[in-house]
Chain A
Amino acid sequence: SQQGEEDPQALSIQEGENATMNCSYKTSINNLQWYRQNSGRGLVHLILIRSNEREKHSGRLRVTLDTSKKSSSLLITASRAADTASYFCATPSPSNTGKLIFGQGTTLQVKP
């Protein structure tokens, strides 16, 4: 079952611009996570935001969470070519077993 839906599916920007990716989910959650995947590699955890947080920062990353709209956004500021990757949101499975449900991802291309 698909919990997280991401938008857009693909994004192409120039170096230095900001990139915004959105994630919507269906059930109540206590946290939402964002992961990054370089082409042909495994996923790497970027940031976790809890349900009682509205916004969280980590370096050039800014994540927001709106539990009333069941949505989150990931903003990458001053993007670099090295940010080219796929980005996934993930939410805990409603069964609370430690499983995560991943969105389909946004593929970001940053052109030098």
Chain B
Amino acid sequence: DVKVTQSSRYLVKRTGEKVFLECVQDMDHENMFWYRQDPGLGLRLIYFSYDVKMKEKGDIPEGYSVSREKKERFSLILESASTNQTSMYLCASSFRGHTNEQFFGPGTRLTVL
């Protein structure tokens, strides 16, 4: 079974802190994704990586950066957390190709105070 794990299920941070969200997949997927999910707004893509060290901005990259140094790990970084970044963050991975299903992690509920 494909497994996508995220470093924390719940996280509480203070405004201005640097926040790291980690995602690891064990199926040798080329593609990895970070989404945020907010009520009424659905899933919005923050960043996408199609290979090690390769990344592409999604729909809402402002205030975020990413790192992919190894194929199995994709990190989302909030350089200076703000209250409007309070959200559910979902990581996903897939094989390369536009027909392939995405496998999701359990999500991280981030609260920024």
List of A residues within 8 angstroms of B33 by Cβ: 99
The reply to whether B90 and A42 form a contact with Cβ atoms under 8 Å apart is yes
How many residues of chain B have a CB within 8 Å of chain A?
A: 31
List of A residues within 8 angstroms of B48 by Cβ: 97-99
The reply to whether A45 and B101 form a contact with Cβ atoms under 8 Å apart is yes
The reply to whether B99 and A48 form a contact with Cβ atoms under 8 Å apart is yes
A48 to B95 CA separation, bound complex (whole angstroms) = 15
From known contacts A99-B48, A105-B42, infer whether A42 and B104 are also in contact, taking CB-CB under 8 Å: yes
The reply to whether A1 and B107 form a contact with Cβ atoms under 8 Å apart is no
A89 to B102 CA separation, bound complex (whole angstroms) = 12
A104 to chain B, nearest CB (A): 4
Other than A88-B42, A98-B48, A99-B48, give 19 A-B pairs with Cβ distance below 8 A: A33-B101, A40-B88, A40-B107, A41-B106, A41-B107, A42-B92, A42-B106, A43-B102, A45-B103, A90-B102, A92-B98, A96-B98, A97-B48, A97-B50, A97-B98, A98-B96, A98-B98, A99-B45, A104-B42
Give me the interface of A with B, judged by CB distance under 8 Å: 1-2, 30-31, 33, 35, 40-45, 48, 50, 88, 90, 92-93, 96-100, 102-105
Closest 10 CB pairs of A and B: A42-B104, A104-B42, A45-B101, A92-B98, A102-B43, A43-B104, A98-B31, A42-B106, A42-B107, A31-B99
